[in-house]
Structure 1
Amino acid sequence: MTRETSEQPPEIAEVLARWQETWPTALQLWNPYVSLREPQWCLTTAEAREAGLQDSFAMIRLRGLAVVVDLETVRKLRVENYALQVLAHEIGHHLLVPANLYDYAGLMMRVRLALAGIEDRAPLVANLYADLLINDRLQRTMGQDMASLYRHLREKGIGETRIFLWYMRIYELLWSLPRGFLSCDKSEPVLDADASLGASVLRSFARDWLDGAGRFAMLAYPYLIEDALHQQALREFAHLSDITSAGVGAELPAGMAEIPSSVFDGIVDPREEVLQNAPNHQEADSPGRAKPGSLTAIIPGSDASTGPQQRYMQPGIYVDLMRQIHPDVDEDRLIGRYYRDVVTPHLVPFPVEALGELSGDVLPEGTDPWEPGDPIEDLDWFESALLSPIVIPGVTTRRRVYAEDIAEPEKEKPYHLYVGIDCSGSMHNPRRTFSWPVCAGALVSLSALRVGARVMACLSGEPGSFMETRGFIKEENEVLRVLTSYLGTGYAFGIPRLETEHLQNAKEKTHLLIVTDDDIFSMLAAPRSDGQTNYDIAEQALRRAGGGGTLVLHARAEWRPQEAERLRQMGWVIHYVTDENALFDFAKAFANRFYRSQGNPTCKRP
């Protein structure tokens, strides 16, 4: 089954010509209607490095549906005779696994959940799983001799770790190859059993491959748990790692912060499934096997899931996941995308313009062609003569078109929004753990922006520091960047922030929304050098804004009742929450009250 190779590799130009000629054939293997642009042929490894290809001789990029081939490494490994298999394999990554960035992120999510505690191994395991699925399709369905390619690479001395032997043993079982054809007969009973389970997962989930990813990762877990084994495996699989950088440069998919409930159904150790179904089952430790109960840290409702209805991963985990897909992505964008994903299902709908009533007035709207058969009284002789002095019915003849005037509905502008979030030392870092205050601020802010209002966001932890947008803006990313930052200073939101010139010079009515806790009363009572109190500042800001103010306190109503009443006398509305989760319900109600459009462009006022 192996192919003969000459002692000396062919010249690079010959390899290039041969592989270019093979590319259309590789496309035909999958589908005669598939159209992918020709790969980027790198004649040197240095050129391949510049293109992002590190140690492998081929890879894909999901951005632009690209394939990159390092022809120098192809010659070095003497795989120039396997052009069809290699190119068909890379095409399979674009058409089968992972196929697109969304499914690639879903694959990585499932693998990471299964590799609890060693999530940094996820790119390698995801690559192995994807390669198995594609190679099995090529070998069994498309008649490609993938076994010879891997036999050739194995003879180059690649692979001595147990995970490499397990991986090759899976191929032997999938393709009914003799023991040792790929694994060099170094297998053992435990490894054989795991390989048999791996082959079963591959066959059972060949079509619904996302559902099998967690099971496959659970099988790989014990072979990668030690750092030294992982590092050695990375070196051994380096030439086969062709999707670990697939997401670089691509626009990250939305909606990946949510963990679908079905995902947890697939995070199952096949070993335990077999043991539980076996007669006279008794729990026992086996060398190299995962212990029962290893999934207790990732079941729904645990620390791995948070947010509304416990459906979202922690923001720190989300950032780690996305950086494994796209290592160069900006963290501000990631965190903003995370909280946008969480609140998007709860935003107010986009406003819908309502048609006004017909006024009864008829207005001319121009002309249309007049054709024989149309009423003669519709013929506009003046417009026809302007078009041509020679009247040709149906060619130069025109008729006047009229329409009834529609009264425009009154458009009331939505209130602009000033949203201030307490970011003192008592608040969580929204970039590491889920923050309900930030989530509430994001929901209200994005709802306001959606209906055309402007938003000014401010983080404040004072005495200490603050961060705010450049006044009232319509830029979602900038608002989210401020809201999702972290200060961790002071003890409360700084009321002096309301003295900003952007509020003093506000030309449109603005609503003030501040999310903090009962320490705000200490801030309000703090002395000032100008003889005023922060109560005075709060009252002046409310008057200048003109659209009212809401103070959301994480406190109980019976705490500091006199101070709260003083604020109410000024016109502030105080809303108490005793559980941070309730902030989200408040934010939804607030957004609906101020910014929800009821079939017309006006917004409800308080």
Structure 2
Amino acid sequence: MSPSQKHITPEDVATGWRDALALWDVRVQLSPPEPHVDFHPDASHAQEPLAYIDLVKRQVFVNFKLLEAMEATGSLTAVLAHEIGHHARFPHTLGWDAELRVQEQRLVPGLKQSLTNLFYDLQVNEVVGRTYAEALCAVYRGFQRVQGGEMSPLFFFYLAIYEELWGLPPGNLVPAAQLEPMEQRYPGVRAEARMFAQTFYALPSGKLQFLYFCATFIRYIEKPADLEFSLPLGGDVSVPDVDDLDAAIHGSSRWDDALDEAEERGWLAPLSTRSKEKDELDSIHRVTEHLPGKQGGRLRQALVAKHYRRLVDQHILKLPTTPSQPEPYLRTTPQAWEYGDDPSSIDWTLTVLSQGHLAAVSPLRRELEADLPPPSELGAPSVEIYLDTSGSMPNPELSLNAMTLAAQVLSASALRKKATVRGIVYSHGNPQVSPWMYDEEKARDFLLSYIGGGTQFPFDVMDALSRERPDALRIIISDSDFLANVTAERPLAPVLESIRRSRLVVAILALPDELRARQALAPLLRERRFRLVVVRWPSDFAKAAADLAQALLEN
């Protein structure tokens, strides 16, 4: 800390908070600032946020230690005014942020780190800088000292905009040594920063501002998939949740007018040449593919499930939403718990009652197994759905899979009729078999499973399940591969016995020719409990499934 710097006192905080509120001249429901507690105590100061708002507690936090390390304690009022501006004048609601994230992935595909915080800061700092420009400059200069290393083209251009906005000479905020190399690397960078400062703040809407922002900044992002950056005032934006992103993707057409205007202004390439989504599933893929670890997979699955739910509701009656019910389970026979077994399987109540004072050293465990549903009434049979997910079908998370949608329609129809559903997702070997499911969301998630590869119908599984649960309604969803599987199956006696044990077996097949199917399935069609439904066009699959469900499940 330089001699001119000093430690921040409670009096400094109170004065800075009062002056920051006065700049915006608004009343906000925020608590006065408190010291930030490091998220990662072992990391450097530069890895921690300088200031942010906890919207749950409605509390402002300031990293006073980082502000002192940056030798910018005199900028406290500007930092607080910046945070208040995010809350009072330019509120980044999660719904709005989700819309921006959907559009930026459309314009900058594969972007690893969102640019929305840069965008929000440009809006807020223009207002704060009218009074505290030099104080904000001190923050950015101090951040460079703490951060160290060469400045990225993205951050260079970002700070060059502030130099132009506040009438500062080149090299006041950006490193003077990088001025010439950056101009050689990106010819006209200075002129573009000046044009941006003159254009961005004059645009009439946030949508146009963001499209212009993305169209300009993309030049300075060399590898979107590798982009990682930090900002001194960049800890403000929370990540939208599944519902926010779902609403943004579903309502992306609200951006069509702004996109058309951006094209007319020459910011974006014509729609026919620039990257665009094929459908909502493509948007979901763009928004989630860059997320690290398993986070992207879980988020993608949740968004895909919501998409298929909307498609299902187009074909069957949408019932009022009810709380998800847990699957019923039964305890198995108690066994001795041994080291290495799951501790959560210990039944302590039973252990204490039966083992007495030896309970702690000799616990008993009991596993959970699904409670098989009781025999259904005539109007609501138990339903087994055999879904073909071979390589001839698209992955339902990336492209609309008509067969998966048909399975979802049948499943939802049965569950809304108070029936129970079991799914069998198969391809070539190792089919996935679910327990009996009572909850629509759980069934939807299971039926989004995908295997790929060749096709081999699991006749042995159907035989075993028909013995375990006779009188169930079994529905097969496949294509011409099912015909090949049946004709290659020798002997057919177990297949026929499975059909005879079932209430009804219905094969819904995507086929161009019904006559060929009837010839191949002649032995099955002679059984009174087997039916064939041929669907010639994939777009008709969901309607055929809905009609079938209505015929089989209506009371």
Q: Deviations over 1:98-156 (max 9, x none)?
A: 6222221211111111113x522x51x2221121112224345xxx4145312542366
Q: Does 1:220 align with 2:217?
A: yes
Distance in 2 between the 1:273 and 1:346 partners? Answer: 38
Distance in 2 between the 1:260 and 1:521 partners? Answer: 42
Aligned partner of 1:10 among 6, 11, 23: 6
DSSP-derived class of the 2:250 partner: coil
DSSP-derived class of the 1:574 partner: strand
Aligned to 1:536: 497
Aligned partner of 2:197 among 196, 199, 209: 199
Q: Is the 8 A contact 1:459 1:483 kept in 2?
A: yes
Alpha carbons of structure 1 residues 248 and 261: separation in structure 2 relative to 1, 3 Å: closer
Alpha carbons of structure 1 residues 227 and 331: separation in structure 2 relative to 1, 3 Å: closer
Distance in 2 between the 1:182 and 1:585 partners? Answer: 62
Aligned to 2:517: 560
Aligned partner of 2:411 among 445, 453, 474: 445
| Partner AA of 1:128 in structure 2 | L
Aligned to 1:255: 247
Q: Is the 8 A contact 2:163 2:170 kept in 1?
A: yes
Q: Deviations over 1:345-368 (max 9, x none)?
A: 65144458xxxxxxxxxxxxxxxx
| Partner AA of 1:536 in structure 2 | E
DSSP-derived class of the 2:232 partner: helix
Aligned partner of 2:475 among 481, 492, 513: 513
Tell me how far 1:552 sits from its aligned partner: 3.5
Distance in 2 between the 1:497 and 1:510 partners? Answer: 14
Tell me how far 1:76 sits from its aligned partner: 1.0
Distance in 1 between the 2:128 and 2:295 partners? Answer: 34
| Partner AA of 1:518 in structure 2 | S
DSSP-derived class of the 1:484 partner: coil
Q: Which runs of 5+ in 2 are unaligned?
A: 321-376
Q: Does 1:82 align with 2:75?
A: yes
Aligned partner of 1:586 among 544, 547, 553: 544
Aligned partner of 1:577 among 532, 535, 543: 535
Distance in 2 between the 1:315 and 1:219 partners? Answer: 24
Q: Is the 8 A contact 1:42 1:69 kept in 2?
A: yes
Tell me how far 1:522 sits from its aligned partner: 2.6
Tell me how far 1:556 sits from its aligned partner: 3.3
Aligned partner of 2:425 among 459, 470, 488: 459
Distance in 2 between the 1:80 and 1:253 partners? Answer: 38
How does 1:55-74 map onto structure 2 within 5 Å?
55-60=48-53, 68-74=61-67
How many correspondences in the alignment?
Answer: 485
| Partner AA of 1:7 in structure 2 | P
Aligned to 1:482: 446
Alpha carbons of structure 1 residues 184 and 106: separation in structure 2 relative to 1, 3 Å: same
DSSP-derived class of the 1:560 partner: helix
Alpha carbons of structure 1 residues 461 and 80: separation in structure 2 relative to 1, 3 Å: same
DSSP-derived class of the 1:313 partner: helix
Aligned to 1:599: none
Tell me how far 1:61 sits from its aligned partner: 5.8
Alpha carbons of structure 1 residues 291 and 110: separation in structure 2 relative to 1, 3 Å: closer
Distance in 1 between the 2:522 and 2:67 partners? Answer: 78
Q: Is the 8 A contact 1:212 1:266 kept in 2?
A: no
Q: Deviations over 1:160-211 (max 9, x none)?
A: 44433332333344455566554577486722443244335532446x3234
| Partner AA of 1:195 in structure 2 | A
Question: Which range moved further: 84-93 or 515-524?
Answer: 84-93
Q: Is the 8 A contact 2:312 2:405 kept in 1?
A: no
Aligned partner of 1:551 among 508, 522, 545: 508
Distance in 2 between the 1:582 and 1:41 partners? Answer: 61
Q: Deviations over 1:62-102 (max 9, x none)?
A: 66666554332222112332223223323444455562222
Q: Deviations over 1:243-295 (max 9, x none)?
A: 46x2288876433443623435545796x755x6xxxxxxxxxxxxx995697
Aligned partner of 2:118 among 118, 123, 128: 128
Distance in 1 between the 2:155 and 2:551 partners? Answer: 60
The higher radius of gyration belongs to: 1
Aligned to 1:604: 554
The structure whose residues are more often helix, as a share, is: 2
DSSP-derived class of the 1:519 partner: helix
| Partner AA of 1:103 in structure 2 | W
Tell me how far 1:422 sits from its aligned partner: 0.6
Alpha carbons of structure 1 residues 305 and 473: separation in structure 2 relative to 1, 3 Å: same
Alpha carbons of structure 1 residues 482 and 166: separation in structure 2 relative to 1, 3 Å: same
Distance in 1 between the 2:518 and 2:10 partners? Answer: 81
Q: Is the 8 A contact 2:478 2:510 kept in 1?
A: yes
Aligned partner of 1:296 among 261, 269, 273: 273
Tell me how far 1:60 sits from its aligned partner: 5.0
Q: Is the 8 A contact 1:339 1:439 kept in 2?
A: no
Q: Does 1:424 align with 2:390?
A: yes
| Partner AA of 1:313 in structure 2 | D
Q: TM-score, normalised by structure 1?
A: 0.67
Aligned to 1:468: 433
Alpha carbons of structure 1 residues 105 and 449: separation in structure 2 relative to 1, 3 Å: farther
Aligned to 2:282: 313
Distance in 1 between the 2:199 and 2:408 partners? Answer: 42
Distance in 1 between the 2:511 and 2:287 partners? Answer: 27
Alpha carbons of structure 1 residues 262 and 193: separation in structure 2 relative to 1, 3 Å: farther
Q: Is the 8 A contact 2:46 2:66 kept in 1?
A: no
| Partner AA of 1:532 in structure 2 | A
Distance in 2 between the 1:179 and 1:330 partners? Answer: 41
Distance in 2 between the 1:451 and 1:38 partners? Answer: 54
Distance in 2 between the 1:76 and 1:218 partners? Answer: 35
Distance in 2 between the 1:329 and 1:63 partners? Answer: 22
| Partner AA of 2:481 in structure 1 | D
Q: Deviations over 1:444-500 (max 9, x none)?
A: 4335434544322221113x1111221132251x32332222222441442433345
| Partner AA of 1:581 in structure 2 | S
Distance in 2 between the 1:554 and 1:204 partners? Answer: 58
How does 1:292-441 map onto structure 2 within 5 Å?
296-299=273-276, 304-306=277-279, 311-313=280-282, 315-320=284-289, 323=291, 329=295, 331-332=297-298, 334-344=300-310, 346-347=312-313, 348-351=316-319, 414-441=380-407
Q: Is the 8 A contact 2:281 2:399 kept in 1?
A: no
Alpha carbons of structure 1 residues 420 and 201: separation in structure 2 relative to 1, 3 Å: farther
Q: Is the 8 A contact 1:440 1:583 kept in 2?
A: yes
Distance in 2 between the 1:194 and 1:252 partners? Answer: 34
